[in-house]
Every structure is written in structure tokens, then in C-alpha cells.
């Protein structure tokens, strides 16, 4: 039987450090659970620019198209700030999403009980939080044309275009409804239909998809700014939130901080189903490359490890093993293991990146 294939792109900053811990987890599943992967590795982001003069080499793009899933660390760093826009590290990430047609970005916001006190909100507001934001990720204002900085009269003007087609809205809405059916059967669609024509179309198409094929799922609509307020007021009112690229970027980072640390948040970006029955997919932590702590052993690897758990669930049909990995993380946190980003005012000695990875491996070993 052919092993499922996984392309690892560690990226920049803390990306290689957290990915080292993920490799340990992948090896453990191969040695102890019979889940062996054909793993390859390549460059993306600033390190790819340093090596090839581009944030994503064409050969790497071709590899990403061929594998069952891509696992990415993080990209970027201040040394690349002055590059032309098209050469910045983030363009490599956007190219992966666009050319692989990864249109549905799944960003869970789950608060482990042992970390409820780390949220800026009251414990009772976030304890037990488990919501999913489905963000459209290949269209909208990040990709719409025309775009750029132009001369207009005696001054310059910056232009970005918010653009959505019916089919682009339809497919991400279906992803959200399908996901809701496996959760608590509720979807809240967020846009700005009161001031944006793209929002009017978004609301219309989401409602149409619901009425025709998902009437069993509870659907509500909310303006995105009100949604941001409600996420901070009472986030547990939501189950699945579906929204566009720009609002999804903002709302998912808002939801991320409800859990206490960006170092805890994974994500999956899914595309069309391939002939083998698996969706094209890329998995990555929500956090950035954190160049200020790179190489110091201070990075929290949990978000990247949880991203691999999402790969087990959504790409490799290994939901029980994903549960096993998530439970190991919860056990470790419950035992008091903390990286620097999770340290409370009581102080103590934080775990290094490697120590956190080893603790999760030990918990996995105890779960057999």
C-alpha cells in the first residue's frame, strides 16, 4: 500500500524549530501506530528567496500539487521588509493557496480548560470554547483586480478590489455547512451587506445554498463588525462562522486571542477533492515567524503539532489518532507544562520548544 505523502515547508523564523517537534510526532505515529508517511521537505518564504531569488520556486510548487498534504511552519522576517511586493515571503504562501485552489481556510478556536485563565476574557466566557471559523482564502480583496498604487492627479492612490463570484461563495458556504453537520449544526455567516455589494451577494448565495441543500443546519447572518464584538462578548454563542477573506483574517485572529496565545492555534486550508478522494490541503499554525525569539528555544510548538492533528483528521481519515494527539496535548497542559508564551504571573521555569515536544511524546506513549 502506498504511503500517504506529506510535504514539509518549515519556512522562516521559528518555523524550523516548531517543525522539528512535529517531525518527532510524525515519527512516533509511524513507529507506534503504523501510520507511516512519505515525507519530503523544501523551502518557502524568506529562505526560498535567499536560495532561489523567489519566495516559492516552481519546483516546490509542483511538489505541493502532487502530495496528499502540505505542512507549513511560518514565513517572513524584518530583513525582507524592503523587497518588492511580489518577492516578499508572504507571496509564497499566497501562491500556494491560489494555485492549489485552497479556498476554505479552517481556523478552530478551542480553549483548553487548563489555559482558560490565560485569556483576556473572564474564565466563564472562554472555558470550554470550541468554535470554527471558515474563511474563504483564494479570492476577495487580497486577490481582486485592479490593485496597486497609482498616480491620480497630483497624488498617489492605493487600490484594492473586493470581488467575489457566486461559485466562490457557494463552495465555501458548502464547506461550512458540511462541517457544521459534524459539529453542533449551526452556521453564522458574516459580511458587510449594509455597505458592500459583495456582502449583499455573499448573504444571498449563502442563504440560497442553505435553503436548497442544508435546511437542517441552523443559519444566521451577522455584520462582520458586530461579529467581532460578539466574539469578545460571548464567543460560545457560535459554532461555525463562515466569512470572506479579509473579515476572516481579522475575525480568526480575534478568536485566536480568546484562547490565550497565538501559539495554540492551528489551521487547515482545503481545496478540491483529488482523484484519491482526499482534498488538496495545507496545514499551518496561525502564528507568524516570530523572528525576535527564533533560535532561542522559546517557541511554542503546539499550534504546529495541532495542525498535524488536523491533517490526520481531514486529509488522512485518522480522526481517532487526531483525538489521541489532541488529548496528549491537553494532558501535558493539565500537568502544568508551559512554554514562555503561556507563563502566568506566578512565574516558574518555562519549557523549551524541545521539552514541550518531548512532553507530548511522553503523553502519547502513555496513551497506548
Of 12, 164, 192, 280, the catalytic one is 192
Of 249, 280, 283, 341, the catalytic one is 249
Of 225, 236, 323, 358, the catalytic one is 225
Of 49, 80, 142, 214, the catalytic one is 142
In DSSP notation, 233-246 reads H-GGG-SEEEE-HH
Beta bridge partners of 132: 108, 240
CA gyration radius, the chain? 20
Residue 142 falls in the annotated catalytic set: yes
Cα angle at 114 between 109 and 117, to 5 degrees?
Answer: 80
Distance of CA 81 to the CA centre of its chain: 23
Residue 192 falls in the annotated catalytic set: yes
Long-range contacts of 272-276 (CB under 8 A, 24+ apart): 272/101, 274/68, 276/68
Of 130, 253, 323, 358, the catalytic one is 253
Task: Report the alpha-carbon distance of residue 20 to residue 39 in Å, rounded.
Answer: 13
Residue 253 falls in the annotated catalytic set: yes
Residue 216 falls in the annotated catalytic set: no
Name 233's Cβ contacts closer than 8 Å, sequence gap at least 6: none
Q: What is residue 253's three-state secondary structure?
A: helix
The 10 Å Cβ neighbour count of residue 65 is 15
Name the residues annotated as catalytic: 142, 192, 225, 249, 253
Amino acid at each position: 500500500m502506498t504511503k500517504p505523502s506529506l510535504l514539509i515547508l518549515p519556512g522562516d523564523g521559528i518555523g524550523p524549530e516548531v517543525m522539528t517537534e512535529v517531525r518527532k510526532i510524525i515519527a512516533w505515529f509511524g513507529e507506534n501506530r503504523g501510520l507511516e508517511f512519505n515525507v519530503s521537505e523544501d523551502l518557502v518564504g524568506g529562505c526560498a528567496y535567499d536560495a532561489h531569488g523567489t519566495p516559492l520556486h516552481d519546483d516546490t510548487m509542483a511538489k505541493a500539487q502532487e502530495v496528499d498534504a502540505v505542512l507549513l511552519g511560518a514565513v517572513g522576517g524584518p530583513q525582507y521588509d524592503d523587497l518588492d511586493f511580489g518577492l516578499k515571503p508572504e507571496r509564497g504562501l499566497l501562491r500556494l493557496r491560489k494555485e492549489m485552489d485552497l479556498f476554505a481556510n479552517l481556523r478552530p478556536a478551542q480553549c483548553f480548560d487548563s489555559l482558560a485563565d490565560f485569556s483576556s476574557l473572564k474564565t466563564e466566557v472562554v472555558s470550554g470554547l470550541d468554535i470554527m471559523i471558515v474563511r474563504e482564502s483564494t479570492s476577495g480583496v487580497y486577490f481582486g483586480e485592479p490593485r496597486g498604487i497609482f498616480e491620480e492627479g497630483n497624488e498617489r492612490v492605493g487600490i484594492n478590489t473586493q470581488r467575489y463570484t457566486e461559485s466562490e461563495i457557494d463552495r465555501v458556504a458548502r464547506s461550512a455547512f458540511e462541517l457544521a453537520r459534524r459539529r453542533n449544526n449551526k452556521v453564522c455567516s458574516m459580511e458587510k451587506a449594509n455597505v458592500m455589494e459583495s456582502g449583499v451577494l455573499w448573504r444571498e448565495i449563502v442563504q440560497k445554498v442553505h435553503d436548497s441543500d442544508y435546511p437542517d443546519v441552523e443559519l444566521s447572518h451577522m455584520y462582520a463588525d458586530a461579529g467581532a464584538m460578539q466574539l469578545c462578548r460571548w464567543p460560545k454563542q457560535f459554532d461555525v462562522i463562515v466569512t470572506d477573506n479579509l473579515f476572516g483574517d481579522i475575525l480568526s485572529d480575534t478568536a485566536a486571542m480568546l484562547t490565550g496565545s497565538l501559539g495554540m492555534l492551528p489551521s487547515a486550508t482545503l481545496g478540491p477533492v483529488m482523484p484519491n478522494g482526499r482534498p488538496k490541503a495545507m496545514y499551518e499554525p496561525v502564528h507568524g515567524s516570530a523572528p525576535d525569539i527564533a533560535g532561542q528555544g522559546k517557541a511554542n510548538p503546539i499550534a504546529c503539532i495541532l495542525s498535524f492533528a488536523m491533517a490526520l483528521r481531514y486529509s488522512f481519515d485518522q480522526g481517532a489518532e487526531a483525538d489521541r494527539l489532541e488529548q496528549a496535548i491537553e494532558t501535558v497542559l493539565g500537568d502544568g507544562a508551559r512554554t514562555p508564551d503561556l507563563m502566568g504571573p506566578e512565574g516558574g521555569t518555562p519549557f523549551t520548544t524541545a521539552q514541550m515536544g518531548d512532553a507530548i511524546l511522553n503523553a502519547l506513549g502513555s496513551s497506548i
